[in-house]
Amino acid sequence: MTKYLFVLTSSPKDFFCEQTLVAIASLRVHNPGAFVTLLTDDKTAATLTGKRAALKDAVDEFVALELDEKFTPMLRSRYLKTVMRNVIDGDFLYMDSDIAIVGDLSIPEDWKGGIYAVLDFHVKLHQAINRKKILRNAKMMGFSPILNDEIFNGGVMYAADTPEARKFFETWHELWLYCVSKNFPYDMASLAETNFKFGYITKKMPGEWNCQLAYGKKYIPNGKVFHFFGSRIIDTCGRKVPESMNVFLPKILRKSFYTDLKEIPVTVNADKTISINEYYDDVIAHAKDEFLYQTKHAGEFGADIIRSYAFAKSLGYVYKKLPFVLPLLSLIGKIL
């Protein structure tokens, strides 16, 4: 049995708990009967009460680790991610929380026994927009050159429960702690160095398994996991979003979709499926349709622009600082 693993570090002040709940709800729509594991820390676990307790009810296995109380939320999150293979038993598919599962995640037989991930930005390193930054970070940490021209995105990872995989994650954790000691708490450089030390053991998943939306347009039609990190979650600053803006801002990319969920009762059914209300259930079940809608109405080139980080950042700025521009965008949305 493969476990579907999520890692959570959260407090009532953020919306990561709600984001994880939405991700799990989408998983259960398309993968009924999936065994879901949540790995968290002691501080987060203590906050999963009241409405937030629905997240605990929604999983099949709940594991909370006691961590150094001085760790920041970011350090706690990275700590859990780099030790997850050695505290969770069984093969697992790990997924970040800023995702929507939109397809069948049955694990292919030929993955069994291995470690799999998708290339960062869906391209070889020499084609990546952040190539110089990656190489600079590796050099700064004294890490090896990236000889195979591949950097993997850690947002979706399959890891079999094998001695080699456990040693891989043990090394990743050690290298991440080294990075932390150098005031560089990020986990990508240490993951790349671990892969180098293990002879590039990580194998490539098809892009559909971690469709990084701003860069993976060709994977959207047959996508299985949509990863929002490159499209960002946009704060609409409490303003009502007209339907015509859906082409620019799918509902599942709105910050309010998650923050409003804090006050909405959530029902976890006997079969672990999640019911919220008609609006939420529909958005979660049909997340892929929203992105296909973008392509249909804005065209492939237009959709590329809309999904870019630059557009998301600009749209967020408009909501915050230039709301008088919104009627114009709404009109353009109607035309599209």
Beta strands per DSSP E along 184-224: 203-204, 211-212
Backbone angles phi, psi at 273, to 5 degrees: -65, 155
pLDDT class of 18 with cuts at 50, 70, 90: very high
Per residue in 287-298, pLDDT tens? 999 999 999 999
How far apart, in whole angstroms, are the C-alpha atoms of residue 326 and residue 332?
10
The answer, yes or no, to whether residue 230 has pLDDT greater than 80, is no
Residue 49 is classified by DSSP as -
**Cβ partners under 8 Å of residue 115, min gap 6:** 157, 158, 159, 160, 165, 168, 201, 202, 203
**Cβ partners under 8 Å of residue 261, min gap 6:** 15, 18, 21, 22, 276, 280
- The position carrying tokens 């309010």 is 256
**Cβ partners under 8 Å of residue 96, min gap 6:** 154, 155, 156, 227, 229
Token pair for residue 281? 């259930």
What's the number of CA atoms in the CB half-sphere (13 Å) around residue 152? 25
pLDDT of residue 145: 85
Q: Which amino acid, residue 1?
A: M
Smallest Cα–Cα separation from 45: which of 57, 20, 63?
63
How far apart, in whole angstroms, are the C-alpha atoms of residue 235 and residue 255?
5
Per residue in 120-165, pLDDT tens? 999 999 998 889 999 999 999 999 988 899 999 999 999 999 999 9
How far apart, in whole angstroms, are the C-alpha atoms of residue 187 and residue 171?
12
Taking residues 308-316, report their average pLDDT. 95
pLDDT of residue 147: 85
How many CB atoms are located within 10 Å of the residue 163 CB?
7
pLDDT class of 231 with cuts at 50, 70, 90: confident
pLDDT of residue 142: 95
Per residue in 160-195, pLDDT tens? 999 999 999 999 999 999 999 999 999 999 999 999
Taking residues 284-288, report their average pLDDT. 98
3 state SS of 154 = strand
pLDDT of residue 190: 97
Residue 254 is classified by DSSP as B
Per residue in 99-117, pLDDT tens? 999 999 999 999 999 999 9
pTM over 0.95: yes
